[in-house]
Amino acid sequence: MTDVSVFQAVTDSAPAAQVARPRLQVVGTALASAAAFMGFLGMIGLYIAYRQDVRATGATWLPDGVVIPLTQPNMMLATWSLSGVVVIWALFAMKNDDRANTFIAIGFVMVLGFAYIAQTGYLLSLMDMPLFPTGGEALDVLNRPPLFYGIIGTHIVMTLVAMGYLAAMGLRAVGGQYNAKDLEGLYGAAFFWFTTYAAYLVMWYVIYITK
């Protein structure tokens, strides 16, 4: 029996390989991202409509004494923009089978994610707008702080999910599950990261810039 016939005998008797299902995770993540983004846009829609109503009565939208500074939101925008670049760096590194750079890039993204959350906390402390009144003072029903906090809180949750997703996929990549030819998980995590970035862009303009 020649080498070829031995090889053929083995391959003929072996079960057929499971048909590959490319992009399932990317497709699933894209759909989940679309759902999350639409939920976020729904809240933004409520915010714009309610703000328009309040302004139509001649009242100011933000409660007396509450100011939204621009420095922190702009810094957060810069943070998000930088994180986008770093996520692309992670993908590019993985595409070249460079696990060390992938690991460094994902670690950097985590730092930027935490930086965004910390900056949001600092911004909210500067604004000093109580969500729930505690001392029996009159409710600021007109200005609806829940709308404001609901949107920002949802975005922080999205950010945490995006960080967790990216960290999990990053660990898989570093562990050898992904390589230059198959980095579907990283693509999926990157997709959700950019969705969260897009949501921040909407929030930055609607809440922080046009106030």
The distance between the two most distant Cα atoms of the chain, rounded to a whole number of Å, is 94
Helices (H), 57-183: 71-95, 99-127, 145-174
Q: With beta carbons less than 8 A apart as the criterion, state whether 139 and 124 touch.
A: no
Select from 24-32, 71-79, 119-127, 162-170 the region that touches another protein (CB under 8 A). 24-32
The values of phi and psi at residue 153, to 5°, are -65, -40
With binding defined as CB under 8 A, does residue 16 bind another protein? yes
Query: Which residues in 47-64 are b (16+ Cβ under 10 Å) and which e?
Result: beeebeeeeeeeeebbee
With binding defined as CB under 8 A, does residue 75 bind another protein? no
Q: Which residue has 């200005």 as its token pair?
A: 143
84-123 binders of another protein (CB under 8 A): none
Q: Which structure tokens are listed for 35?
A: 């759902």
Using CB under 8 A, which of 6, 131, 168, 201 touches another protein? 131
With binding defined as CB under 8 A, does residue 210 bind another protein? no
With binding defined as CB under 8 A, does residue 22 bind another protein? yes
With binding defined as CB under 8 A, does residue 141 bind another protein? yes
Select from 51-59, 83-91, 113-121, 165-173 the region that touches another protein (CB under 8 A). 51-59
Q: Which residues bind another protein (CB under 8 A)?
A: 16, 19, 21-24, 27-28, 31-32, 34-36, 38-43, 45-46, 49-50, 52-53, 55-57, 131-133, 139, 141, 144-147, 149-150, 154
